Structure 1
Amino acid sequence: MAAISTPMQAEPGLLSRLVTRRTSLIGLVILAIVALAAILAPLIAPYSPTKLSIANRLHAPSMQFLFGTDDLGRDVFTRMLYAAQVSLSVGFAVVVLASIIGIVLGLTSGFFRKADAPVSRLIDAMMAFPDILLAIALVAALGASATNVVIALGIVYAPRLARVVRASTLVIRELPYVEAARALGVPTPVILVRHVLRNVTSPLLVQGTFIFANAILAEAGLSFLGVGISPDIPTWGTMISVGRQYMDQAPWIMMYPGGAIVITVLSLQLVGDGLRDLLDPRLAKDI
């Protein structure tokens, strides 16, 4: 009797497993809506984000102005859409820059024994300062602009990724396949990229989502304090800063951008928690 062969089922991808979790799916949907609204802002925004209309200043939410207007008559809904572009762009750029710096420092510290002590001391020194204070100091030294905010926050959050990469590299460098690659004369850069970096991708991905959320909060905080992006550019932080002066008269000016920050950061946290549970072998057993 001939044996019946059954095709092997392919293991579902990370995204497929992520959407099976209700909380992660909610986070992905919210994040996709915010990103889509930011991308399509020029098409769906009813007004200009910078055009003044003193006759319509402090106009309450209505059919004409969905989220009301601010102290200069600018449509809050329109400014929120364009502010989403800034927040998401800054957050993503910070993740990229922090990942580059963190990977270089982490691999150097974890793989090369002689460089471990000085690089580790540098990482510890950077993490000794509170994030927001170090960011304010760097932005004050570099100047207020979107690019400098990204550089400052990238430097601030890089040590977190560096410590994750270093911890993983210390373990991976002692594994047999890495020792075998060394014995075969494989160049060190190839070992770092092919054997070490590929195995630290999972914790980097999880940390990246949390840094994305923290970067959005930090950018809003810097803009709120007036040391971040130029006030001419609509950001959620500057909108809240303006709205606090009219909290009793026009609470919608700060209520809607504040809600946007909360929702966006919460969605990133939900996605990050889902990734952590799926990619951590100890937690994945319980799922």
Structure 2
Amino acid sequence: MMTASLSMPLVSSLRRLFRNKAILIGAIILAVVLVAAVLAPWVAPYAPNKLSIVNKLKAPSLAHVFGTDEFGRDIFSRAIYAGRISLLVSLGVVCISTVLGVILGVAAGFFRKLDAPISRLLDAMMSFPDILLAIALVAALGPSLTTVILALGITYAPRLARIVRGSTLVLRELPYIEAAVAMGLPTWQILTRHVLLNLASPILVQATFVFASAMLAEASLSFLGVGVSTDMPTWGTMLASGREYMNNAPWLMVFPGLAIVFSVLALQLLGDGLRDLVDPRLAKES
């Protein structure tokens, strides 16, 4: 009976979650991308770097669904493997930016003396365009997969920090937080039990948008030649290599571009849907 009673709120929450069309559509698209990326060795018909000069620049066909590139490599296979890199980078960026953003945001919102210096730091970082700041960090640290994740994680941390700071400022003024402080509870206990738990929803929503932005930024860095190693297929490098053949072989850019568009669209739909659930007023206004 206890198991059944505990499962009811979960089932109700899931129904409410997937009743939102934006979340449902976004989740389906993202699930397809995720499954294809995870099962790439079984889904992809060819190795991503298998060369075949005889088959170079072949148009889409039954043998090569998305066609081939200038080296005869199967674009469908490369697009699937590229999805693994994009998802890995985006997930790493979300983890780093969330940790940094929560630390800076809670520190600025809860400790009054730290608010001004941290806010100035965040303002300074956000004054630069995201892609420009990421390029500068990658140039300083050296191009690699780890560097790209770290650079983008630092770049998007201020976004989360500003959201967390604003929410923490509101929470700090609530009666039960003031009562906990007056009772002399340890600061770490107040933060973990009362503040961080109430920050979960806005953090989740913002992290979804950061995931989409990170995916787009990784593709941009790879397109500009300052992203991950060229040995790894990424949607950005596929777009970059296809520029020279856009007139004669447009499929070199069309399919990687569509992969980026649909992946980012799915994440944006998820973020919008989650935001509407967290703050129903936004749903009514829209």
Query: Aligning the two structures, in what range does the TM-score lie when normalised by the shorter sequence?
Result: over 0.9
Which residue does 2:228 correspond to in 1?
229
Please tell me whether residue 138 in structure 1 is matched to residue 137 in structure 2: yes
2: CA distance, partners of 1:245 / 1:230: 20
Distance in 1 (alpha carbons) for counterparts of 2:117 and 2:31:
41
Q: What is residue 168 of structure 1 aligned with on the other side?
A: 167
Residue 78 (1) aligns with residue 72 (2): no
- What residue number does 1:31 align with? 30
The Cα RMSD (Å) is 1.7
TM-score (norm 1): 0.94
Alignment of 1:110-149 (within 5 A): 110-149=109-148
The alpha carbon displacement at 1:285 in A equals 6.3
For residue 171 of structure 1, report the CA deviation from its aligned partner: 1.1
Task: Report SS of the residue matched to 1:123.
Answer: helix
2:206 is the alignment partner of 1:191? no
What CA deviation, in whole Å up to 9, does each residue of 1:109-144 have, x standing for no partner?
Answer: 000011111011000000000101000000111111
How far apart in 2 are the matches of 1:200 and 1:28? 23
Query: What do residues 49-84 of structure 1 show as CA deviations (whole Å, max 9, x unaligned)?
Result: 112111111111111111111011110000001000
Q: 1:241 to 1:284 in 2, by over 3 A?
A: closer
CA distance in 2, matches of 1:105, 1:201: 15
**Using the alignment, how far apart are the partners of 2:174 and 2:18 within structure 1?**
33
Match of 1:252 in 2: 251
Range moving further from structure 2, 16-25 or 60-69: 16-25
Structure with greater proportional helix content: 2
**Deviation, structure 1 residue 17:** 1.5
> Tell me, what secondary structure is at the counterpart of 1:63?
coil
1:241 partner amino acid: A
| Shift, 1:39, TM fit | 0.4
| Alpha-carbon distance in structure 1 between the residues aligned to 2:44 and 2:174 | 55
Task: Kindly state the Cα deviation for residue 179 of structure 1 after the two structures are TM-superposed.
Answer: 1.5
Residue in structure 2 matched with residue 3 of structure 1 by the alignment: none
Task: Give distance in 2, aligned partners of 1:234 and 1:149.
Answer: 15
Q: Which runs of 5+ in 1 are unaligned?
A: 1-6
What is the SS of the residue equivalent to 2:117? helix
Looking at structure 1, the residues matched to 12 and 162 of structure 2 have their Cα atoms a distance apart, in angstroms, of 27
Determine the C-alpha separation between the residues in 2 that align with 1:11 and 1:39. Answer: 27
Which deviates more from structure 2 when the two are superposed, residues 9-18 or residues 247-256?
9-18
CA separation of 1:255/1:194 partners in 2, compared to 1, >3 Å: closer, same or farther? same
- Give the aligned partner of residue 94 of structure 1: 93
Deviation for aligned residue 1:249: 1.2
Match of 2:56 in 1: 57
The one-letter code matched in structure 2 to 1:97 is I
SS at match of 1:48: coil
Aligned residues: 281
Which residue identity does 1:203 align to in structure 2? P
Deviation, structure 1 residue 21 = 1.7
1:4 is aligned to none
Work out the CA distance in 1 between the residues paired with 2:28 and 2:13.
16
Amino acid at match of 2:268: Q
Q: Bigger CA drift: 45-54 or 155-164?
A: 45-54
